Chain A
Amino acid sequence: MANYYDLDDIIAEEEIVSVVFQKEVNGVGIDPSSETDCVKPGSKVELPFWLANELHLRQVGTMKVPACFNQKTRLELGADATCVDLRSRSPYFYEFGCKIAPLVGDRDLGSFLLSAFKNRYQEVLAKGHSAAFSAASKCSTLLTREETTMYEAAQSSMKAFKKWRMGGPRFQRASILGRKRKPAD
């Protein structure tokens, strides 16, 4: 299990999954289509993963494979992985996929995620190292959170390399204080 305090892990578990309830549940307001505060067996409810997971494990409900891992996405990623907009599908595409893969009984999901990541990895890293800042904004809108972190790491290492080569002041204003104010006259 990931770190309890890990922010990305927490947000990744907020992704929505649809759950079909097997048991009746009373006294909860999670089904917007139901008028009373109970959920009937067989009803389909959209729940965040942290709740859906536990209910799935206790056989209160069964999870469906979320839409972001559907056949269309798989075909697109198979055709040209680097051009697919994964962020709009889920900013935590890989983390979410890893969490859900052992639960939904989809054997291909794990290897599919791995191949998608591998195919995109090279491109992301190459762009991160070479692209100028102005050109960067276009392709970085397609990346997931994980890939963005990697991209930024590549860019910052290039920046550090340039700084090392050109030289410059060692001390700098702490970044917490924000950008430099215009000196008051």
Chain B
Amino acid sequence: MLVNILFWIYAAVLVGAALGVILARNPVHSVLLLVLCFFNAAVLWLLIEAEFLAIVLVLVYVGAVMVLFLFVVMMLDINVERLREGFVRNAPLAALIAVIVAIELGYVLWVRRLGVELPAGTAPLPAGHSNTAEIGAVLYTDFVWPFQLAAIVLLIAIVAAIALTLRHRPGVRQQNIGQQVAVRPADRVRLVRMKSEREP
């Protein structure tokens, strides 16, 4: 009962925040509303006792991905009015895509459910149940190759991103930090011993 009430509250906030993401006039506000979305999605996962996934969602998306998003969006001086110029022109195409996505969602949620008896809600898990251990056990046995493959794809993406942005320009004066760090006091400072002078 309490879980149901909480679900509707958080789901409502989630939908509201998601609408806010696309309706907010300021891109920074959009990003922050998206963060709110992720939080509410994490809470929904917590409600079905998937605590590992919930915390990882917050850790990865809120803690890392959205920080970088915010970082970039804050630095751009985006003119929202100009972005909205094409709104009416592109509206029919967008509506078409939205309808297709809605139909697909409906197919997955409703049509394929016919004949399959889904339980309402999930049964509470036993007290000593460890969500983390269970996911780990599946991830490193049944799904070990897809998991490794995903890791390699991400690694390639990282290397590619660095290769795209790394530029060597000739004639640029740069600091050699390794050399700077390796400097010892004896290289720069000469200590002189001298007798103290008497005031005249």
Q: Are both chains from one complex?
A: no
Chain B residues in the interface with A (C-beta under 8 A): none
